[in-house]
Structure 1
Amino acid sequence: MLNSNQLKLTAAALSIALLSACGSGGDSNSSVQDPGNGGKQTLPDKVPDLSTGEASAKKLRKASAEDFTTYLKNGVYLSQGASDVSDGSEAISAPTSDVSPTFSTTNVQESAVDESDRIKYDGDYLYIANTTDFQAAEGEHQQSIRILKRGETGELTPLSSLIASRDYYSKQRLYLKEDNLAVVLSNERGMFGITPEIDGIFAVTVAPEPVTQDFTLALVDVKDPAQSNITHQLRFDGNLVDSRVIGDSLYLVSEFSASFNGFEHGGEDLSLINYQKIIQTDISELLPKVTDIKAGTKRALVDPSTCYVPEEASELNGYHQITSVTRVSLNDPDSFTSACIASRTKGIYMSQNNLYLYGYYYDPQEATFDDPAQTVMHQFSLAEDAVTYSASGRVAGRLGNGNTNLRFSEHNDMLRVVTSRFTEMNGMVHKLYILEKQGDNLSLISQLPNNTRPTPIGKVSDRGLVEEDIYAVRFFGDKAYIVTFRLIDPLYVLDLSERNDPKITGALEIPGYSAYLHPISDTLLIGVGQNVQDWFIDPVAQNDDQIGAKVSLFDISDIGAPTLLQEKIFPGGYSPVEFDYHAFSYIKHSEDVFRMTLPVESWLTQEESDNSVTWYRRSELAAFEVHSGETPKLQYIGSSVIEPQSDIELQGYVWSGDDRGVIHDDHIYYVHGNFVWSSLWQTPQDTTGPF
């Protein structure tokens, strides 16, 4: 077994390997090569001194078709024989308005920016993206959508089942816009990561790459859901990073690794032969394509003249990965536009006006065991339905794991972002950055902590280090809420009203942590997480009745002294909301009453007659009300429970991460697996189903 120092040395060696793959190149005196598009050209008699020039660390510039062709071909040449690894990683819902909706919809970060989910509901019809081969013929795979109709008295009736694809994808997510249902089918992207842990030790994580480098968009006409039909099926080359919908525009962000199968692998002077081969290759063979499955046609996803490369890129630089931003009109899907950058992308954040691509860059000048990662952001304007590059910026640190887009917020033309990094001197360093677009730069306006306000975000241990990681971040207007955790849960309140002087105004310490925060109003905040005393102590040695999923109600009316009003603990449980906020459903029932549901999965034990202990699983949809009158309170209404002996459970394990709830007036619909259970708000434990 490796000791601590050996682990550090191993991680350092791996970091150097990553830096070698991602670093930018210098100048060369070699002659400029003809970019080549398959026409006649003079072939070079030697290979130029090429170097990788990934765009992630620099501002971008619009490339000509020639420039981009050269850059991509150089990158494909440089990438031969190298395995693709990831970059080492691993707007808040506004308070409900005075007009109370009668049913819940998908919980999103920014109002008017829709996000995909496995269910969509319009008050009349419930659409469920099936997680298994529901009603599939034996030996035949089907990706299908169930459609259920709600009756006048709230009952659900299965209406139809629609096959969206016969190809396998690990994720199937939906958008619903009036009479258009968009089905996005994709695979999870793999990763190879070096993640800093407490005490400076690095943890190495490896996950497989997707089976195929493609994803599919199916558009369904649901004007009459009983007679729904697929109007378009488009298969995109590349891996889906994320997507959003604004108005009738669907934005798809994808990442494509250009490759070339014609390289020689034996013989003399391979370098020159292979370099000549790649520059003679037509650029169209290296670009991602879009296949119209119904029409049987194919075309390029991007035009090289609409792409961007690093500002300082020369003819001796190259990078083989392309991130594309594609706008598809839901009303006219045959007419779509794309922009691209020669870079890889970790994820996105989108406001109503801008799209931000973010990724990680490792500064080769960092020669210590401190985490060298920097978060790089590229801003694209969405004005007039066009996607146009605007600016770039970077800050130290990375975004952690789970709901990373919630670490961003655009407010009053300012971008706020919270990052974390490990340092030997201080332990975990968590920072808030406020940036503003100035020309083509996202320029730093202020940060916290700073020289004037040095108090760290996170408690300092007896060793003089911050050993707590960030578990939740939420922005709300000119305030931010941050939860850190190791032994206790400090909830920090940050005042961002003065952009040049952000400050910590208050903190609350309680056991456990919140992994998701949801503002109810200017004065009330919901937290969903875990009640646990210390992850580093055997849970059996702790009080089992007090370990499990926790829902908390905080009073944030005094930003200098937040308080815990009430909490509900589900022993032995966790909620998918902790890592996917789409599982959180809510409506404003009345002026003073906020209703919400969240799924909880618990692993519990029961004693048998022979004194043995048997583990069993409990799946439930918990219902709560928050009363915001003179005496605010959190009221647990009860839970709709799926009994272990039910038919759906006998089919095998059903992952609770896909559980969802819908609230409509006084009805609750609990989606578990591919089926639905129904109950009334006043008696959620009395369920009917499955439907």
Structure 2
Amino acid sequence: MKKWMSGMLAGVIAIAAVPVWMSFESLGEKEAAASAKVAVASAKEVAPAADQSVLPKESDQPLPVVGSYEKLKKLLKDYEKGHGIQYGVAVKEAMEAVPAMEGAPVLKAKTAAAPTPDSSSYSPTNVQVQGVDEADIVKTDGTYLYQATPEEVRIIRAKPATSMELVSRLSFSGDEFSPQDMYIDEKRLIVIGQSHPKAVRDHIITNEKRFMHGHSNTMVQALIYDISDKHSPRLTRALEADGYYVSSRKIGSSFYLVTNKGIDWYALSNQSQEVPGPRYRDTAQGDDYKTIGYSAIRYFPEAIQPGYLIVAGANLDNPKQAASIHTYLGSGENVYASPNNLYVAVTQQEVESAGKAKKSLIAGGPVPIMKSETSLYRFSMKNGNLAYTGKGTVPGRMLNQFSLDEHNGYLRIATTTGDMWRTDENTSKNNLYVLDSQLQAIGKLEGIAPGERIYSVRFMGDRAYMVTFKQVDPLFVIDVKQPDSPKILGALKIPGYSDYLHPYDENHIIGFGKDAVADKETAFYQGMKLALFDVTDVSKPVEKFQTVIGDRGTDSELLYDHKALLFSKEKQLLAFPVSVHELTAEQKAEKDIRAYGSFSFQGAYVYRLNEQDGFVLRGTITHLNSDDMKKAGQDWYDSAKNVERIVYIGDTLYTISRDQVKANSLQTLTETNTLMLSK
């Protein structure tokens, strides 16, 4: 018996919410209230409208619609028979079963960081695709810094560094709205976060007719501000959609948002009244929340899932153009975007009966075989509008957004199949597939590094770089110039692994990860490792330079979030936040590769990097003082003084934590000024 389970599902259904109550310290109370307040309105069931004149072309094979509440229940009932849903229990199992490994194209997508109009004067966010912006917790426009924290968004005049000033705060009630990240441009600040409005919670609980078991009022909000006056940001528009935030992208004035919303299976199965569909709101079109009708919800016939995938788009320059809202029975895990297409990927597991399984190393007896596949949903993008243009499926599970890349009309994807602990034919293997404009695989390279899994991938034009790991770190150089016949050009095996690969130039790539020491059948990671790989001779890649920070326990946000990296080849500048753990002399003498070091530093490591000298540590910058270090024990924690991002503006390097901004000379790293941010 085979059972398909999806990877990113939630267990409850969300209902109407209102925008958060905010306090703008630079605004008067009446103006702040007028900007933020919208009454709780009765939701209207609609099929979202769109401006037909700017719609991208839909797929020639449109998906079927759910159509009615009864059809929804039947679809999910069929899903239940094949997957064993028991009022939310299966949702939890499905999520645990798929561990996070955390479009028709026209334009060529480039993998270098996106340049700014004057990128030499200040650092842009490190993004995957040139011209496709990604939201982050810190942004700069060359004069101001913008920072999102869980409680507020700050606008800081950073230039000149000698007179930095906090010019305004957008403060939020943590119970009602929590910022997660943001975008900026010359006109706007877009703050994205989760909303849990108390007003709606109270409304639901006190209204027995509307109360249903297991409801949540969680919504994703994108709050759009006019920042022409940095001292008085003005809320001009709010986009809201049910569910939990998956990801977003911004291309020029076009904004795209992806959310997941779980379906409350208990309510659907036991309530006599109809359970409403997901809700959304675009205040540019009115203050009412709208319920998406079942006639506007589509599904993937061979991939029914008990949840909603909501994909939204908006033209920020044209508020009269209604937001483009598309809803599907489904979910999303990873999001990749080229300049023309948005891809949403989700992993599903195929469970075969234990009777067919062979003995495994870890269990010593029959173990169910879990076969995974990744479904890819493509949406074309144009002027804030979206159109579904196709679905593709490949074997295996993705690692993250860097496992996908669109190039010259083809989509490339890297996956891992099987399990590392198995010793039979179902052991882990790594693969690369090339899909055509119909999302059909026309080229494949399978069975790479059996017994290992992918730790990082980077596509650079006609090449792909893949790092797998179990005991050593093989770096594979793969030729994808011929879409129908990808092939391995060369490989390099070295200790450790890279969690993130970043382009240096056409023939060099930087790896960020962990050093490791092999021990029998496994390996133990050690300190954070930086490596510069030379792939000039693709058949014989070389680790040209490498350096290791700290010992076992050392970690960096960069290993999980590429936006934590500051890199400029022109300035020979490399910087990132890191928490350092170091072994004592006694521990080093014991030579125990399993031993963890003790906390010794948190802050920015700043390097000079070039092809002649490699990694040269120029210095470190911390926001911790001597008292903080005295209080620190074996480990450190998520302190407000932890440096989270590093940017440069002109000849000044800025390190940003939730507690302060510190300005240092970019040439000498001597401190210029510190601005305290905590209230």
Per the TM alignment, residue 647 of structure 1 is displaced from its structure 2 partner at its CA by: 6.5
Per the TM alignment, residue 587 of structure 1 is displaced from its structure 2 partner at its CA by: 2.8
Per the TM alignment, residue 510 of structure 1 is displaced from its structure 2 partner at its CA by: 1.5
For residues 253 and 383 of structure 2, what CA distance do their matches in structure 1 show? Answer: 12
Q: What SS does the corresponding residue of 2:127 show, helix, strand or coil? A: coil
Partner of 1:429: 429
For residues 613 and 113 of structure 2, what CA distance do their matches in structure 1 show? Answer: 16
Q: Which moved more, 1:227-236 or 1:217-226?
A: 227-236
- Amino acid in the other structure paired with 1:185: G
- Amino acid in the other structure paired with 2:528: A
Which structure 1 segments of 5+ residues have no match?
A: 1-11, 23-36, 39-58, 132-142, 189-208, 266-273, 450-455, 459-465
Partner of 2:542: 563
Partner of 2:666: 681
Which structure 2 segments of 5+ residues have no match?
A: 10-43, 46-59, 100-108, 197-213, 358-367, 587-595
Post-superposition Cα deviations, 1:119-144, rounded to whole Å, max 9, x if no partner, equal 1111011011124xxxxxxxxxxx21
Identify which of 245, 248, 263 aligns with 2:250.
245
Does residue 160 of structure 2 align to residue 179 of structure 1? Answer: no
Per the TM alignment, residue 579 of structure 1 is displaced from its structure 2 partner at its CA by: 0.9
Partner of 2:440: 443
Identify which of 202, 220, 240 aligns with 1:215.
220
Post-superposition Cα deviations, 1:597-619, rounded to whole Å, max 9, x if no partner, equal 111111236699xxxx9943411
- Amino acid in the other structure paired with 2:606: A
For residues 615 and 445 of structure 1, what CA distance do their matches in structure 2 show? Answer: 51
Partner of 2:315: 329
For residues 634 and 421 of structure 1, what CA distance do their matches in structure 2 show? Answer: 35
Per the TM alignment, residue 103 of structure 1 is displaced from its structure 2 partner at its CA by: 1.1
- Amino acid in the other structure paired with 2:489: T
Does residue 396 of structure 2 align to residue 377 of structure 1? Answer: no
For residues 649 and 673 of structure 1, what CA distance do their matches in structure 2 show? Answer: 21
Does residue 481 of structure 2 align to residue 497 of structure 1? Answer: yes
Partner of 1:602: 580
Q: What SS does the corresponding residue of 1:653 show, helix, strand or coil? A: coil
* Equivalent pair of 2:346/2:374 in contact (CA under 8 Å): yes
* Equivalent pair of 2:98/2:349 in contact (CA under 8 Å): no
Q: What SS does the corresponding residue of 1:427 show, helix, strand or coil? A: coil
Partner of 1:200: none
Cα 1:343–1:645 shift into 2, 3 Å: same
- Amino acid in the other structure paired with 1:580: D
Partner of 1:81: 87
Identify which of 327, 330, 333 aligns with 1:343.
330
1:12-161 pair list within 5 angstroms: 18=5, 61-63=62-64, 67=67, 69-75=69-75, 81-83=87-89, 84-85=91-92, 86-87=94-95, 88-90=97-99, 93-94=111-112, 101-131=120-150, 143-152=151-160, 155-161=163-169
Cα 1:649–1:93 shift into 2, 3 Å: farther
Partner of 1:6: none
* Equivalent pair of 2:158/2:165 in contact (CA under 8 Å): yes
* Equivalent pair of 1:76/1:258 in contact (CA under 8 Å): no
* Equivalent pair of 2:309/2:327 in contact (CA under 8 Å): yes
Does residue 329 of structure 2 align to residue 310 of structure 1? Answer: no
- Amino acid in the other structure paired with 2:526: I
For residues 405 and 630 of structure 2, what CA distance do their matches in structure 1 show? Answer: 40
- Amino acid in the other structure paired with 1:502: P
* Equivalent pair of 1:63/1:305 in contact (CA under 8 Å): no
For residues 229 and 535 of structure 1, what CA distance do their matches in structure 2 show? Answer: 59
Cα 1:293–1:517 shift into 2, 3 Å: same
Cα 1:329–1:650 shift into 2, 3 Å: farther
Partner of 1:56: none
Does residue 642 of structure 2 align to residue 642 of structure 1? Answer: no
Cα 1:102–1:154 shift into 2, 3 Å: farther
Per the TM alignment, residue 584 of structure 1 is displaced from its structure 2 partner at its CA by: 0.5
Partner of 2:50: none
Post-superposition Cα deviations, 1:174-214, rounded to whole Å, max 9, x if no partner, equal 111222111111389xxxxxxxxxxxxxxxxxxxx997532
* Equivalent pair of 1:577/1:583 in contact (CA under 8 Å): yes
For residues 287 and 373 of structure 2, what CA distance do their matches in structure 1 show? Answer: 41
Q: Which moved more, 1:382-391 or 1:414-423?
A: 382-391
Q: Which moved more, 1:360-369 or 1:228-237?
A: 360-369
Q: Which moved more, 1:517-526 or 1:327-336?
A: 327-336
Cα 1:17–1:115 shift into 2, 3 Å: closer
Cα 1:657–1:323 shift into 2, 3 Å: farther
Partner of 1:287: 277
- Amino acid in the other structure paired with 1:226: H
* Equivalent pair of 1:214/1:235 in contact (CA under 8 Å): yes
For residues 249 and 530 of structure 2, what CA distance do their matches in structure 1 show? Answer: 28
Per the TM alignment, residue 671 of structure 1 is displaced from its structure 2 partner at its CA by: 1.2
Partner of 1:667: 652
Cα 1:16–1:288 shift into 2, 3 Å: closer
Post-superposition Cα deviations, 1:350-405, rounded to whole Å, max 9, x if no partner, equal 111111111123346685444311111111111454311111111111113xxx01
Per the TM alignment, residue 626 of structure 1 is displaced from its structure 2 partner at its CA by: 2.6
1:574-653 pair list within 5 angstroms: 574-589=555-570, 593-604=571-582, 615-628=598-611, 631=612, 633-645=614-626, 653=637
Post-superposition Cα deviations, 1:528-566, rounded to whole Å, max 9, x if no partner, equal 111121388999xx8xxx931111111121211111121
* Equivalent pair of 1:302/1:339 in contact (CA under 8 Å): no
Identify which of 399, 403, 409 aligns with 1:413.
409
- Amino acid in the other structure paired with 1:413: G
Per the TM alignment, residue 679 of structure 1 is displaced from its structure 2 partner at its CA by: 1.0
* Equivalent pair of 1:587/1:596 in contact (CA under 8 Å): yes
Q: What SS does the corresponding residue of 2:231 show, helix, strand or coil? A: helix
Q: Which moved more, 1:473-482 or 1:322-331?
A: 322-331
Does residue 393 of structure 2 align to residue 394 of structure 1? Answer: yes
Partner of 1:298: 288
For residues 210 and 470 of structure 1, what CA distance do their matches in structure 2 show? Answer: 38
* Equivalent pair of 1:419/1:432 in contact (CA under 8 Å): yes
For residues 638 and 672 of structure 2, what CA distance do their matches in structure 1 show? Answer: 18
TM, length-normalised to structure 1 = 0.72
Cα 1:301–1:220 shift into 2, 3 Å: farther
- Amino acid in the other structure paired with 1:445: I
Post-superposition Cα deviations, 1:407-439, rounded to whole Å, max 9, x if no partner, equal 00000110100000116226211000001123x
For residues 114 and 482 of structure 2, what CA distance do their matches in structure 1 show? Answer: 26
Q: Which moved more, 1:631-640 or 1:507-516?
A: 631-640
Post-superposition Cα deviations, 1:218-274, rounded to whole Å, max 9, x if no partner, equal 212211111223233444321122111112121111122344887786xxxxxxxx6
Partner of 2:347: 360
Percent pairwise identity = 26
* Equivalent pair of 2:248/2:258 in contact (CA under 8 Å): yes
Partner of 1:50: none
Cα 1:263–1:571 shift into 2, 3 Å: closer
Q: What SS does the corresponding residue of 2:669 show, helix, strand or coil? A: strand
Partner of 2:26: none
Q: What SS does the corresponding residue of 1:431 show, helix, strand or coil? A: strand
Cα 1:426–1:322 shift into 2, 3 Å: closer
- Amino acid in the other structure paired with 2:340: N
For residues 239 and 346 of structure 1, what CA distance do their matches in structure 2 show? Answer: 11
Post-superposition Cα deviations, 1:137-158, rounded to whole Å, max 9, x if no partner, equal xxxxxx2111110223565322
